[in-house]
């Protein structure tokens, strides 16, 4: 099983959110330093993209994945 497949299972188990179409963003060091996502995925049945500044491998080592609270004016959702 690939890393993103494992992450999809963990996110569904921890947050009851089903994601598809995972992909790396290939953000550079300066972009990551400014908060760019290192991977994104689509919410199943929607065009909404969700991602994280934390690598998929690191998220897999965490006990539980949580969703970061974002300001109400922001449409971005991030997992930490």
The 10s digit of each residue's pLDDT in 40-53 is 999 998 888 899 99
pLDDT tens string 25-78:
999 999 998 989 999 999 998 888 899 999 999 999 999 998 887 665 556 777
What residues make up the domain containing 35? Answer: 3-79
Per-residue pLDDT, 75:
64
pTM for this prediction: 0.85
What would the mean pLDDT of 2-17 be, rounded to a whole number? 95
* Long-range CB contacts for residues 51-57, cutoff 8 Å, separation at least 24: 51/25, 51/76, 51/77, 51/78, 51/79, 52/78, 52/79, 52/80, 53/78, 54/79, 54/80, 56/3, 56/4, 56/7, 56/22, 57/3
Is the separation of the CB atoms in 11 and 19 below 8 Å?
yes
Per-residue pLDDT, 35:
86
- The SS3 call for residue 27 is coil
- Structurally, the chain folds into a number of domains equal to 1
């Amino acid at each position: 099983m690939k890393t993103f497949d494992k992450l999809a299972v963990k996110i569904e188990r921890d947050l009851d959110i089903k994601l598809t179409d995972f992909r790396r963003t290939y953000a550079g060091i300066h972009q990551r330093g400014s908060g760019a996502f290192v991977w994104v995925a689509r919410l199943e049945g929607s065009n909404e993209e969700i991602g994280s500044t934390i690598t998929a491998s690191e998220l897999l080592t965490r006990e539980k994945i949580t969703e970061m609270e974002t300001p109400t004016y922001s449409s971005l959702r991030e997992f930490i």
